[in-house]
Structure formats: structure tokens, C-alpha cells
Structure 1
Amino acid sequence: MRITLPGKAAGIMASQREHAEKQRARLGVEARSWYRISNAADPDEAEVMLYDEVGGWFGATADEFIADLRGVTAPRMRLRINSPGGSVFEGIAIANALRAHPASVTVQVDGIAASIASVIAMAGDRIEMAPNSMLMIHDASGVCMGNAADMEEMAELLDLISDNIADAYAARAGGTREEWRARMQAETWYLPEDAVDQGLADEAVQAPKSGTPAEPVEEPEPDMARAWDLAAYGYHGPHAEQPKAEAGLTEDIRTLIGEEIAAQLAAAVTTPVEDTAHVEPVAETTPVEPAPEEPAAEPEPEAPAAEDPWAAMTAHLTQDEPDAWSVLVSTLTTTASSSAATEA
């Protein structure tokens, strides 16, 4: 936002208008026009495009915009904004002209609505943020030439203008002047969803889909990923029916070994089958009751095994015979033990 020193503002604005007229005369009216109004798109909705700096050296002034705005007779108006801002006072005049117009105004932020352009956006009955667009707010700024008193006066004026702009945001989105001044001093940028969350916009328009998604195409399996096909070698799986031997193989063996040997081999490996065709049926007999079972006899004791003569002859050889010394001392050991037992 730009502001100049009071008292000199009229001269600066006149200089801007004169410069803008010269630029339009040199480049053509439509060459650098910062707005366009059209009723051609829809007879019930006029389209107003604000696609450049508001006022300023290369734009038109607010009085020209308002004069063209009076020619809009459609019941609805769509104001499309893509502007970095510009002159504060001309922006406020444009915003008030939009509020006073009888048409229902829908503001559509196409690219950016920054500085005073965001204040113009607040004048809409409905505010929409296009996909990936942005909205920016900040404190007023300006250029001052003069002495210290002029600088102090300029500082007071900038604070007053910033408070006035903060009131415009608060009237639209709620909150207090102080809260919005703090956001303005921080130079806050808003994406579409953020602007809706903060109350500065009504809708974040979603980007249209580029057609319906195509159905996935089934690509052929790569050669390296294919399983080894064993069907070419006659294998059809573990449970597949095995092919029967052809008769030609048997005929070839008979040709090689001869009919006589083949017949002998066949007879050797063939299991004879009993002929049950001429078996006479067994005559039916009257069932006989089983005899009562007799008590089982007790098992007889096993007879002692016969003594082995050789074992009897060699038995005395395996028994230890006491030596003479052991026999002599055995009486002493027995007597001592008896005496000890008696004394105990």
C-alpha cells in the first residue's frame, strides 16, 4: 500500500493520472488496462477482471473504474482479482463502489489479492479462492518528504490508515482491530484453505479433475518372471493323469525278442486267477450251539533243567579255599568280637 503526505496527496494523485493517460495514449487503451468489464460471457452475470496494480502509474484511477461499473446491469457480478495492490484511497473507493452496486458480487481470487487488493476482495458478498491462489495483508506504507514534524505526521497517518484497514478485515472475518493489526504487522500470507479458516474467504475452490482415470491395463508378464513350463516335456503336474502306454511299444518288443519268448515272459509274470465259475455252493447246515467251555488247566511247573556234568566237575575249581593263616586267626577275631560285645 502506498500513501503520501497529506496536503501533497492531491498533487501526487494528479501527477499519477496524467502519467497514466500519457501511457495509455502511447500504448493504447487496452494495452495496460488494469481492469476489464464484460457482459458477454453470461447475460445474467457480468465479469469484472482486476488484473494489475490498483491505480498507480500504469493503471487507471478509481473514478474511471466506477464510471464503467455503473454500466453493469446484470443481476450478478463476478470480480476476478490478480493484483499486488496499489493506492490505498483508490482501493477503498473501489471497494465502496462494489458494496453500493445493486448486483450480487462474487469475488474470485485467481492469483493473488495482496495489500489493498485484499481489502477490495472484502467488499464481495461471497469470496472464493481459486486453486493455489494467495491472499496477503500488511500495514500501510508510504513515502514522505519533509522535516521531522512531517515524518511524525506521516507515522500517525499510516497508523490511522492501518487501523482503518484492520477494521475492514475484522468486519468480514470477526475478531478485533488489535488482532488484525498484529497479523498485518507480521505481513501474513494465506493459502486458500487458510483464508477460509480465518474467515477471509468463503470457499477454497477445488481444482477440476482432468478426466476419469483409465482402467489399469494388464501388461504381459516379463519373460524372466515366467515359470519354467514343463508341459513341453510331457509334465502336467503331480496329479495329472499319466498317458497310457501305446500298443506300438509292445509290438516292438515282441518283434525284437520273438513271439515265443514274449509269451514265456507273459506267462511268468501273470498271476493265475482261480476259476470260480464252476465252484459248487456249500450246502446250508443247521447252526450248532457251541459246547460249554472247560476251565483252563493250570500250567504245569517247569521241570528243573538237567545238570550239566561238565559244570559239576569244574564247580570246585571256581570256589575260593581259605588259606592256613586265615584259619588260625579266625578264632582270635571271633573271641575279640564276643568280648567287645559282652563289655558293651
Structure 2
Amino acid sequence: MNIVMPGRAAAFAASQRERAEKQREQLGVQARDWYRITNAADSDEAEVMLYDEIGGWWGRTADDLVAELRGITAPRMRVRINSPGGSVFEGIAIANALRAHPALVTVQVDSIAASIASVIAMAGDRIEMAPNSMLMIHDASGLCMGNASDMEEMAELLDLISDNIADAYAARAGGTRDEWRARMRAETWYLPEDAVDNGLADAAIAAPKAADPVEEPVEEDEPDMARPFDLAAYGYTGPTPAEPQPEQVTLTFNVGDAVGEQVLAAFREMAAGRNTEPEAAVEDVVVEAPAPEPVAVAEPEQPAAEPEDGWAALTAHLTQDDAWSALVTNLIEPDTSSSAATA
């Protein structure tokens, strides 16, 4: 931490800014921006970046930053810090400006918040440490030009400033001034988890490690793209099933039971006369009959046919055979020989 020197150097310290501005003009160097403000009027959150030394010979002074802080109207403000420190009094002015701002201030240490930059971090309503960032605290230091009395005065001033900074840490993290001065004299560095454990930060922002598996969000199963396109929405119900083919039905019956023993004996005699093969059994006859056809629409009723003589129908085909006809002619036709002789 750099401070304004007391004693004979007080006049020099009072004109520090003026001398810095004159030197920049002579060298043609513009004041270096060590901060940037974005989204000042955003409805959600404004961002203030403190990157580089706080104040100093070549940087812009705290009054420039404080003036711009007044223009922030967003309800929340995120102050991102990556600074090794700088001017003690410039840093205290910035810290108090952040405490007085009506926005909810979240300080995020992006890389390092050392020396007076760590004091600025204590002004946040919430302090977060980014992965692998660090926070460092130590006693104030400065330069002095003068005699022994000036040096003694400088030592007293440095102790007073360091006590004042220790109070800032104690107000935030608890503990006493002496406890924090002991840590400051030892120049203590804090990793994110250490800063949280010691009360200097509220949270260490976690980052997934490369070796740790990243949990994937649960997603619903993807549709099977190999399935055929569904045409049901267009009234298509699939191919028409093929009509079943009629089955062959085997019909078995006994001829003897159907025509009687007398007719069956006549069939046997006729077959014996024509075929010299051994007499075949005809009691059981297998007839291949097609399956019933589908029921057709009923036709208009026709007049009932004359009743048919069952015996005549049964024996009609027997007369077609010459041998059989010769045997039965005299039975079914009248005797014409006597009528011809008497004619």
C-alpha cells in the first residue's frame, strides 16, 4: 500500500495529482483507465471492473470513478476486482462510495485483490471468490523524505493506517484489531476456500474439474426415426388383408346305407362282368367336395317343382348300360309279341 508521506514531504504529497497531470502532459501520455463501468442504466445489474493499480501516478484518480458511480441506476451492481492494490486513500474513497450506493453491491474477485484492493472488496454486500483467485492483506507501507523526526512520524502514521485497515477486516469477518494486525504483518494470502473460512468472503465460486463427470440434463427419448411414416391422420389403416382361400373338405359316406342292399348287389354284379380286377369294396367311398361357397343373396322364390320319383331317379342311369338294359327290358316294357301276332 502506498500512502501520502508526512513531514517535509507533505507539500509534495498535497500536489501529487497535479504533478502527475503535468508529467502526463509533457510526455503526451493519457491517464490510464484502471476501471470500467457498463450497463449503468440496466434494469438488472451494472458491472464495474477494477483492473490494475488503484490511482497512482499514471492512472485516473478515485474522484473520476466516484463521479461515474453516481450515474448507476441499476438495482444491482457487480464489482469485479483484479488489482494488486495502490493508493490507500484512493481505495478508501472508493470503498466508502460503494457502501453509500443504493444498489445491492456484489464484489467478485476475478484474480487478485491485494493490499488496498482487498479493503475495497470488504465494501461489498456480498463477496465472491472466483476459482483460483487470491486475496492478500499486509501492513501499509510508504516513502518518507526527512530527518529522524520525520521518520518517527511516518512510522506512527503507518501504524495508524494499518490499524484502520485491520478494523475494516474485523468489521467484516469478526475478530479483533490485534488479531488482524498480526495477520497483516505476516502478509497473509487466502485462497477462495480460506477466504470463506476466515470470513473475508461469502462464497467460493465452484468450477467443475476436468476429471469430474459433468452431469448431463435428463432428456426424453428421441423418436425412432426408422419407424414408417404414420398415415393414420389421413385415414389410412393399412393394407387390406387377403381373403382366405376355401379349404378342401373330405366327405365320407357308405353307399350301401344310401341305396340299399338290393341295388348294391346289382352294382357288384355289373362291375364283376366288366372288370376282371378283384372286386373292390364300395361300401366306403371318399368324395372330395369343395368347401361351401359364401352365402349368396337369396334369389326370388320360384314355384315349387313337382315331386320327383326317388326310385326312378335312382335307377335311371342303370338303363343306359346295354347289358343291364337287356336284363331288365322285359321287366319295364310291355310284351309286344302277342299283340303283333293277333293284329
TM normalised by structure 2 equals 0.58
C-alpha separation in 2, matches of 1:43 and 1:22: 41
C-alpha separation in 1, matches of 2:76 and 2:113: 21
Aligned-pair CA distance for 1:9: 4.2
Secondary structure at 2:155 match in 1? helix
Aligned-pair CA distance for 1:61: 0.9
C-alpha separation in 2, matches of 1:93 and 1:197: 28
Secondary structure at 2:196 match in 1? helix
Q: Which residue of 2 aligns with 1:192?
A: 192
1:175-231 CA-partner distances (Å, limit 9, x unpaired): 0000000000000000000000000000000125679489xxxxxxxxxxxxxxxxx
Secondary structure at 1:107 match in 2? strand
C-alpha separation in 1, matches of 2:194 and 2:22: 39
Q: Which residue of 1 aligns with 2:104?
A: 104
C-alpha separation in 2, matches of 1:68 and 1:9: 29
1:84-108 CA-partner distances (Å, limit 9, x unpaired): 0000011111100000000010000
Q: Which amino acid aligns with 2:66?
A: I
- Does the C-alpha gap of structure 1 residues 13 and 83 become closer, same or farther in structure 2, counting only changes over 3 Å? farther
Unaligned runs of 5+ in 1: 215-344
- Does the C-alpha gap of structure 1 residues 72 and 40 become closer, same or farther in structure 2, counting only changes over 3 Å? closer
Q: Which residue of 2 aligns with 1:15?
A: 16
C-alpha separation in 2, matches of 1:27 and 1:150: 34
TM normalised by structure 1 equals 0.58
Aligned-pair CA distance for 1:13: 5.1
1:267-316 CA-partner distances (Å, limit 9, x unpaired): xxxxxxxxxxxxxxxxxxxxxxxxxxxxxxxxxxxxxxxxxxxxxxxxxx
Q: How does 1:205-220 map to 2 (within 5 A)?
A: 205-208=205-208, 212=214
C-alpha separation in 2, matches of 1:115 and 1:142: 13
Unaligned runs of 5+ in 2: 217-343
Aligned-pair CA distance for 1:4: 2.9
1:183 counterpart = 2:183 = yes
1:90-128 CA-partner distances (Å, limit 9, x unpaired): 111110000000001000000100000000000000000
C-alpha separation in 1, matches of 2:28 and 2:6: 31
Q: Which residue of 1 aligns with 2:146?
A: 146
Q: Which amino acid aligns with 2:134?
A: M
C-alpha separation in 2, matches of 1:45 and 1:72: 9
Q: Is the 8 A contact 1:17 1:57 kept in 2?
A: no
Q: Which of 32-41 and 99-108 deviates more? A: 32-41
- Does the C-alpha gap of structure 1 residues 9 and 45 become closer, same or farther in structure 2, counting only changes over 3 Å? farther
Aligned-pair CA distance for 1:59: 1.3
Secondary structure at 1:109 match in 2? strand
C-alpha separation in 1, matches of 2:18 and 2:195: 34
1:232-274 CA-partner distances (Å, limit 9, x unpaired): xxxxxxxxxxxxxxxxxxxxxxxxxxxxxxxxxxxxxxxxxxx
Secondary structure at 1:193 match in 2? helix
Q: Is the 8 A contact 1:56 1:87 kept in 2?
A: yes
Q: Is the 8 A contact 1:133 1:191 kept in 2?
A: yes
Aligned-pair CA distance for 1:44: 1.6
Q: Which residue of 2 aligns with 1:46?
A: 46
Question: RMSD of the TM alignment (CA)?
Answer: 2.3
1:148-174 CA-partner distances (Å, limit 9, x unpaired): 000000000000000000000000000
Aligned-pair CA distance for 1:58: 1.8
- Does the C-alpha gap of structure 1 residues 213 and 76 become closer, same or farther in structure 2, counting only changes over 3 Å? closer
Aligned-pair CA distance for 1:77: 0.3
Aligned-pair CA distance for 1:82: 0.2
Q: Which residue of 1 aligns with 2:71?
A: 71
C-alpha separation in 2, matches of 1:109 and 1:81: 5
Q: Which amino acid aligns with 1:149?
A: S
Q: Is the 8 A contact 2:40 2:73 kept in 1?
A: no
Aligned-pair CA distance for 1:19: 2.1
1:56 counterpart = 2:56 = yes
- Does the C-alpha gap of structure 1 residues 74 and 18 become closer, same or farther in structure 2, counting only changes over 3 Å? farther
Q: Which residue of 2 aligns with 1:91?
A: 91
Q: Which of 20-29 and 129-138 deviates more? A: 20-29
Q: How does 1:1-344 map to 2 (within 5 A)?
A: 1-6=1-6, 8-9=9-10, 11-12=12-13, 14-20=15-21, 23=24, 26-28=28-30, 32-39=32-39, 42-208=42-208, 212=214
Secondary structure at 1:158 match in 2? helix
Q: Is the 8 A contact 1:17 1:60 kept in 2?
A: no
